[in-house]
Structures are given as structure tokens and as C-alpha cells.
Amino acid sequence: MPLATIDHYFMYCRDLEASRHFYEQVLGFEVGARPPFPFKGYWLYLEGRPRVHLGEAESSAGQEYYLGKRETGEATHTGNLDHIAFQASEFRAFRAHLDQLGVTYRHREVPQFKIQQLFIKDPDGVTLELNFPDPDL
């Protein structure tokens, strides 16, 4: 039963609409079909597949039914997540897009693998790593 690929990740958002806007406008996700869960949220799609699920940070009975009771506080978390990475294309155009939107990023290069990387933060402070493997950029 080997794993094949990452399916999606779920984010609790302090500001659901700001996060939706960020993932749509900055990263190019599209809001798509989502089951009628009894709590607010969005499923964000890339290439026809839901890859990021957003939900309100404030817990509700409906949310607890589907996701379980949310643990809160500094000592309770889902682990030591540092960043989430996406493969991307068109490095120069994407960097210009971030510049135009005023999005702060860190640029790194991994010359051994001919990869350009941009690191950005979403509205909740999650670091997103964008990998551009095109050697011709």
C-alpha cells in the first residue's frame, strides 16, 4: 500500500476570505466544488483537483463533527510543519507577478538540481516553497 502523491492539505484560517483571496490571486488556485459541510470553507483547485482546503479557525459543532474537536494552545498542534512546497513554472513571470502584487519573498537557487526557489508566507504565516525546475527559466 505505497503512497503515490500528496492529495491536499487543510488550513484553519484566521481570516477565511483573506486566505481565499491569497491562494486565488497570488498562487492561481481556483475555488471549486465542495461538499455541503455545516461550516464555512473553500476547496481550492489546481489542474482540476482540490489541493488546499480552507476552513475557519473558530470552531463550530459542524466543524467538530467532521474534523474532530480542535486542540488549541501553544502545546497542542499537528506537528513541526516548516513549509509546504509546490512545483511551479515560468519563474521570471511568477516573480514579476509577486513583485506587482507587493508579495514579499525569499529567492534561493539550488544549482546542483537547476532549481530556482521562491519562499512566501500565506495570510496565516505558513511558509510556501515554490520550486521552478526549468533550467532555461
Indicate if 10 and 48 belong to the same structural domain.
Answer: yes
Q: Which residue has the higher pLDDT, 74 or 41?
A: 41
- Grid-cell match 508579495, residue found: 103
Q: CA torsion sign, 103 to 109 to 27 to 134?
A: positive
CATH number of the domain residue 133 falls in: 3.10.180.10
Half-sphere exposure of 126 (CA within 13 A, CB side): 21
Which one of 36, 65, 80 terminates a domain?
80
As for how many domains the chain has, the answer is 2
Asked whether the whole model's pTM tops 0.75, one would answer: yes
Sheet holding 115-121, edge to edge: 83-87, 127-132, 115-121, 106-110
Q: Which residue has the higher pLDDT, 4 or 51?
A: 51
Q: What pLDDT does residue 2 have?
A: 85
Half-sphere exposure of 65 (CA within 13 A, CB side): 6
DSSP-assigned letter for residue 92: H
Indicate if 87 and 118 belong to the same structural domain.
Answer: yes
Indicate if 75 and 86 belong to the same structural domain.
Answer: no
Indicate if 68 and 2 belong to the same structural domain.
Answer: yes
Indicate if 2 and 65 belong to the same structural domain.
Answer: yes
Indicate if 47 and 68 belong to the same structural domain.
Answer: yes
Tens digit of each residue's pLDDT (9 = 90 or more) over 44-89: 999 999 999 999 877 666 666 666 666 665 544 555 678 999 999 9
What domain range is 74 assigned to?
1-80
Q: What pLDDT does residue 128 have?
A: 94
Distance, in Å, from the CA atom of 137 to the CA atom of 133, rounded to the nearest integer, reads 8
Indicate if 70 and 89 belong to the same structural domain.
Answer: no
Which one of 42, 64, 80 terminates a domain?
80
Tell whether the model's pLDDT for residue 15 goes beyond 90.
yes
Average per-residue pLDDT in the chain? 86
